[in-house]
Amino acid sequence: MIENKLHFFFKNQIWHIGGLILLFYVSCQMVDFENNSNTFLGISVKNWFLFSMMTPLIHQGYVWLCWRSELCWKTISRTIGFKGYVLIFFIVSILRFSSVGLCFADYGTWYTPGWIAWSISVLIFIPFVYTMYSVKKYFG
């Protein structure tokens, strides 16, 4: 049994949120929005970028709130249940694919990918496929 539930709920989260804020800030400093007028589906690169950056923040915050509140107070079990949690989890997970829109909107601004970049992309895609297979197998 967790003795100090509120302490456990926030334990080490300052490092997590601080790291996320720092990475978000550094990423925003690296991008030149003023000189990029590209769009995809009528949405500017800046908006694609901000949405693509906010989605993981929302996703990680949602998982933290749900799991820690479940461990401390059984909040999810007493309210939306596991199916409700999973439904929202997958909706937010699907929103992570917004980064693909950013890729189309910002294509070619750094360099045109060659065969090495495509090969690395395929290598990175393999663990993604295995992750999706595992999620389907173990979580239905």
pLDDT in tens, 20-73: 889 888 888 887 777 777 778 888 888 888 888 888 888 888 888 998 888 888
How does DSSP classify residue 3? S
Give the Cα separation of 7 and 3 in Å (integer).
Answer: 9
What separation in angstroms does the CA of 54 have from each of 59, 113, 118, 125?
Answer: 9, 26, 26, 22
**Position 140 pLDDT exceeds 80:** no
Among candidate residues 19, 38, 135, 14, the one with its CA nearest the CA of residue 86: 135
Give the Cα separation of 46 and 28 in Å (integer).
Answer: 10
For the question of whether the overall pTM of this predicted structure is more than 0.75, the answer is no
pLDDT tens sequence across 109-129 = 666 667 887 888 889 899 989
